[in-house]
């Protein structure tokens, strides 16, 4: 195994698209439930879990601005999309008996808690899964940056980025049969070679705070738990 480190607190970042199943849009409840079960297996190990879910299955700011909408407005719509995903994930996890809190970077007290760092830390200590919604609360950012920011604030030991593939490749493995997976890659290699991990702001924020990023497949049943137990294939960026 690549690491025998025992993780106490982690950030799980998933894209909004991971929730849509084969539908091509929105939330697919059986898919949301499947991911919630994967998270539960790690929660059952006693690991404290933070989550950030993207919004790309509903709305992306760039997509709106490409169609003539003001970028900032489009980005706020994207942030609101992440709140819907967070509520969907919360419902699925509570169905499994896991206590959760949705914590929003944009205040909307009727649906989610406001972000108060010490309060969020306390939730984690009490074994509640914290789902951080509405990104950073600022336009021109992504949920990858939000995940990195919150992971730093919550003192997570790593960001687990769940994707469709089991790591970082030198080229798209869906298009190239000879694509090579890296076991380990540095932040600077990711930036210089434009490897598809997270956007550049997120990578730089992780690098400057020595926060490792573990890219793994969320489609692999038991994959998330396996890595925390020191098994499986993945790429670690550090
Ligand atoms: N967004 C934003 N600020 C943030 C996080 C997200 O403006 O801090 C907006 C942005 O428009 C983005 C959208 O929310 O396109 C959805 O987030 P993202 O694209 O990161 O979702 P994912 O690709 O992970 O599904």
Per-residue model confidence as pLDDT tens digits over 107-124: 999 999 999 999 999 999
120 inside domain: yes
Query: 227 to each of 7, 63, 193, how far by Cα in Å?
Result: 10, 34, 26
**pLDDT of amino acid 4:** 60
The confidence band for 6, taking pLDDT boundaries of 50, 70 and 90, is confident
Better-predicted residue by pLDDT, 52 or 4: 52
Q: Whose CA is nearest to atom 22 of ligand 1?
A: 54
**CA torsion 75→86→125→229, rounded to 10°?**
-100
- 142 labeled binding residue: yes
136 inside domain: yes
pTM of the predicted model over 0.95: yes
Q: What are the tens digits of pLDDT across the range 202-229?
A: 999 999 999 999 999 999 999 999 999 9
Please state, in angstroms and rounded to a whole number, the distance separating the CA atoms of residues 238 and 218. 20
CATH number at residue 129: 3.40.1160.10
Q: Is 199 exposed, middle or buried (0-12, 13-18, 19+ CB in 10 A)?
A: middle
- Decide whether any atom of ligand 1 lies within 6 Å of the 55 Cβ: yes
- 14 labeled binding residue: yes
Structural domain of residue 87, as residue ranges? 9-237
Tokens of 191: 């930036």
2 inside domain: no
Question: What is the Å distance from ligand 1's center to 231 Cα?
Answer: 31
Structural domain count, the chain: 1
- Decide whether any atom of ligand 1 lies within 6 Å of the 163 Cβ: no
148 inside domain: yes
Question: What is the Å distance from ligand 1's center to 134 Cα?
Answer: 8
164 inside domain: yes
4 inside domain: no
Residue from 115, 135, 150, 196 to probe ligand 1 pocket by mutation (most atoms less than 8 Å from CB): 135
> What ipTM was predicted for this assembly?
0.98
Summary mean pLDDT of the chain: 96
Mean pLDDT, rounded, for 157-171: 96
3 inside domain: no
Please state, in angstroms and rounded to a whole number, the distance separating the CA atoms of residues 18 and 222. 16
């Amino acid at each position: 195994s690549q690491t025998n480190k025992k993780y106490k607190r982690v950030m799980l970042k998933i894209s909004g698209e991971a929730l849509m199943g084969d539908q091509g849009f929105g939330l697919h409840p059986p898919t949301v439930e499947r991911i919630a079960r994967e998270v539960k297996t790690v929660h059952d190990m006693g690991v404290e879990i933070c989550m950030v879910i993207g919004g790309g299955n509903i709305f992306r700011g760039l997509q709106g601005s490409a169609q003539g909408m003001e970028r900032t407005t489009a980005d706020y719509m994207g942030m609101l999309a992440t709140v819907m995903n967070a509520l969907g994930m919360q419902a699925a996890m509570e169905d499994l008996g896991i206590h959760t809190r949705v914590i929003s970077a944009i205040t909307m007290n009727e649906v989610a808690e406001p972000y108060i760092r010490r309060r969020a830390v306390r939730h984690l200590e009490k074994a509640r899964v914290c789902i951080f919604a509405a990104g950073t609360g600022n336009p021109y950012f992504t949920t990858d940056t939000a995940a990195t920011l919150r992971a730093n604030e919550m003192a997570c030991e790593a960001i687990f980025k769940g994707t469709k593939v089991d790591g970082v490749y030198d080229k798209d493995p869906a298009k190239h049969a000879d694509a090579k997976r890296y076991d380990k890659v540095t932040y600077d290699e990711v930036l210089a070679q434009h490897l598809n991990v997270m956007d550049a702001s997120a990578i730089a924020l992780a690098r400057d705070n020595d926060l490792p990023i573990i890219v793994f497949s969320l489609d692999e049943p038991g994959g998330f738990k396996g890595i925390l137990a020191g098994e499986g294939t993945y790429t670690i960026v550090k």
